[in-house]
Amino acid sequence: MNLAMIDVAVLIVYAIGIFSLAQWVSRDKAGHAKDSKDYFLAGKALPWWAIGASLIAANISAEQIIGMSGSGYAIGLAIASYEWMAAATLLIVGKFLLPIFLRNNVSTMPQFLEQRYGPSVRMLMAVFWLFLYVFVNLTSILWLGSIAVHTVTGVDQMLALAGLGVFALVYQIRGGLKAVALTDIVQVALLVAGGLTIAYISLDRIAGGTGAVHGFHILLSRFPEKFRMILPPGDPHYKELPGLSVLFGGLWVMNLSYWGFNQYIIQRALGAKSLAEAQSGIAFAAYLKLLMPVIVVLPGLAALILAPGLAKPDQAYPEMMKLLPPGVKGLVFAALVAAIVASLASKINSIATIFTLDVYAHIRKDASEQRLVLVGRIAAVVAVAVGIIAARPLLGGLDQAFQYIQDYSGYVTPGIVVIFLLGMFWKRASTAGALTAAIGSVVLSTLFSLFWPALPFMNRVGMVFLATLAAAVSVSLVRPSAGVSTMSLEGVSYRTSTTFTVAGLGVVLILVGLYASFW
């Protein structure tokens, strides 16, 4: 399927517009050269709307739109738990975690670990994250994005993959986080507009032109089993979403790791003007997460009727795009490209941030600010090159790449959550305990995978979390650290504004209503 000229025009206007906007917001004041604070944290001047929009733009990419639509096609609405439970997690991050990070003037997650546990933990986790970001996250965004571009336009997939990577690199390389965050409000607006458009047209097509609401009821009546949020043990997809574990088990561990301790995500909040501004941005993002299943899951469900018998579930979203008329197709395709580019740019910037501030600057303590910015840009180029080369070998043979991301991220996330939670809320947590959690998480996850392959990965994450928590506590008691921690809780307040409190209550009530409706 090829795009009509009007679709190509829409895409070109988007590409030129977003690139120009990124360069404009990245401009330096006369006589001022970018330092590492400007490049990696946007000068710590981000407003709430930029934080909230950028959190979503960084999160919602090909791995969400293509991958979760594919999982919606294969599994059903239950996959929306990743989105809806993330909204609840964001409230926890805003109320309990951000106050500690901002009080300690944290720039990166490995930096916080050094403040709490010492340099050995910082370096170990920096290397962990770099490998995870490059070989799991970056490659998956590139691969799934190239699937969409190839399916819609017919462009060679590897050419599309390289084109996306290079455009995202060039888009952010001059301005760093500021270029990404201050343009993400445009990216998210386009993403929401395009996503709602394809959802509406797909449902209206199901209803034969009598409206999206009618189409939704038809879809619900034809496939009621696809609208269960909590899958029973006998369900063929129980291994991917094991029943009540999505509410009370390992999904909380995954979400806390992703939204609370993940440089790629939390970096936006670390660049806030103030704690109140960061919390307002978090609340904004939580409401956007509640909306996301309409955009990323509903098209996959609609494909059950409009495109039955797909060879691979990940083809669902691109197939729905084929149904769109010229012009509208260009808008939705631009929205998809916007999501891919925004997420890629965010990931590239975070890789550069961790490598520069946590690896290079740790080795070259005398490096100048301008040198750090240069090293960050070089690291970004190298990361994109590696991602482009590694994407096909790692993901080319998979049916549901979204599950690949969750599964392999789950090897390290239990240990990460243990390290941070103990470090923030238990004074006796030691360096030896933290290293035990980091290494034990990978070792135990590998052993579970080898000797208990039928165990749902979400349950594996929960069990490994409990085991590494017990191990870290035990080792900390046996081998305490003396005088290592420089983290301060003095002056940290967990009280939030009325706005954040009311917004959080609204999120909780909506979640209760959704799960009660689709139990």
With CA atoms as reference, report the closest residue to 77 among 202, 204, 194, 230: 230
pLDDT at residue 405 greater than cutoff 70: no
Query: What is the average per-residue pLDDT within 143-152?
Result: 80
With CA atoms as reference, report the closest residue to 186 among 50, 43, 48: 50
Q: Two tokens at 414? A: 């239990």
pLDDT at residue 21 greater than cutoff 60: yes
> Measured between alpha carbons, how far is 65 from 196 in angstroms, rounded to an integer?
12
pLDDT at residue 512 greater than cutoff 90: yes
Q: Where in the chain is the domain with CATH 1.20.1730.10?
A: 5-19+43-402
Q: Which residues pair with 46 in a beta bridge?
A: 272
Architecture of domain 5-19+43-402: Up-down Bundle (1.20)
**pLDDT tens for residues 443-462?**
999 999 899 988 988 899 99
> Measured between alpha carbons, how far is 303 from 413 in angstroms, rounded to an integer?
33
pLDDT band at 404 (very low <50, low <70, confident <90, very high): low
**pLDDT tens for residues 240-260?**
889 888 898 899 999 999 999
> Measured between alpha carbons, how far is 236 from 242 in angstroms, rounded to an integer?
10
- If you count them, how many residues does the chain have? 519
pLDDT of residue 191: 84
**pLDDT tens for residues 216-237?**
999 999 999 999 999 988 888 8
Report how far apart the first and last C-alpha atoms of the chain are (Å, whole number). Answer: 39
> Measured between alpha carbons, how far is 303 from 402 in angstroms, rounded to an integer?
18
With CA atoms as reference, report the closest residue to 150 among 388, 322, 318, 385: 318
pLDDT band at 114 (very low <50, low <70, confident <90, very high): very high
Alpha-carbon dihedral 49, 53, 58, 64, rounded to 10 degrees: 160
- Tell me the percentage of the chain whose pLDDT exceeds 70: 96
Output the CA angle 293-60-13, nearest 5 degrees.
110
What is the separation of C-alpha 128 from the centre of its chain, rounded to a whole number of angstroms?
Answer: 17
The helices-and-strands tally (H runs, E runs) of the chain is 27, 0
Pick the more confident residue, 318 or 280. 280
- Phi/psi for 476 (5° steps) reads -65, -35
Q: What is the pTM of this model?
A: 0.89
Alpha-carbon dihedral 147, 150, 151, 152, rounded to 10 degrees: 120
